[in-house]
Amino acid sequence: MIVDVLAGVLILIAIFYIVTPLWIYRVQKLPARVSFEAVDDNEFLSDQSDKFRALDNKLKEIGFEYIGSSTLLDSHSSACFSLYFNAQANVTGMLISMRSAADNFTYMEFSQLYSDGTMLDVSNSPAVPVYPKMDIKISARFPEVLDAEKLYRVFLKLKSSLKNNSSSIGHKREFGFRKIEVFIAKESDELVNLGYCQRAIDLEGKRSLTLKGACVFTWKNTFPGKGIYDKLDQAYSQKLLLNV
């Protein structure tokens, strides 16, 4: 009896891990070419949570100038974000509010773009990143660091230790969201090169996943892969910090 139950459970799990990637393969698309439109600053901020508004004030207190806000809508989620720049340190900051049927959360991100097209990125996002590691981007995640100033210090520490021979690129208000749009396109092209996305871009500026991409995305978003990858990703980030 127990053996039959276990066999039934294993069959259901096998079906799940076969059917779900096929479904994601058919319906899921990722942004490849985006054009962000600025929204009204006051209206945008009034729609955000108390946590978002508090972090907005904190970023300004530690030297970040507000650039603008916009949104990125997907079939399953939406991202509302504000962009900031610290001219003294030449560092870009972002506040992102993610909303979906599964979860809602707000997180911070600090990044440095270099003239060779690479980027250093540090965030406290609680979500497991679904994109693979890429040569064009070093990404570290510290979800336990909730204080903006502390996370910023972590970023500066990593930036100082992970030397880049290329010059850093600043972000001016007149740039708007253009540099973000360009890097999203670069990431998307890299996903094609790594075999995660198909090359074709639809009329909405999105790319479909390959079967490989659909399988990996399923693994990273479901049990037990989600928990395993979360621990591996945080361990990688801590290793970067410990090697400073």
Mean pLDDT taken over the chain: 92
Q: Closest Cα to residue 124, out of 149, 99, 160?
A: 149
Identify the pLDDT of residue 7.
65
What secondary structure, in 3-state letters, does 62-87 show?
Answer: CCCEEEEEEEEECCCEEEEEEEEEEC
pLDDT digits 0-9 by tens, 6-21: 666 667 777 777 889 9
Helix, strand counts (H, E) of the chain: 7, 9
pLDDT digits 0-9 by tens, 150-174: 999 999 999 999 988 899 998 878 8
pLDDT digits 0-9 by tens, 21-70: 999 999 999 999 999 999 999 999 999 999 999 999 999 999 999 999 99
Mean per-residue pLDDT for 214-238? Answer: 94
Identify the pLDDT of residue 10.
66
Beta strands in the chain (DSSP E): 29-31, 65-73, 77-86, 91-100, 104-114, 119-123, 137-141, 168-169, 206-208
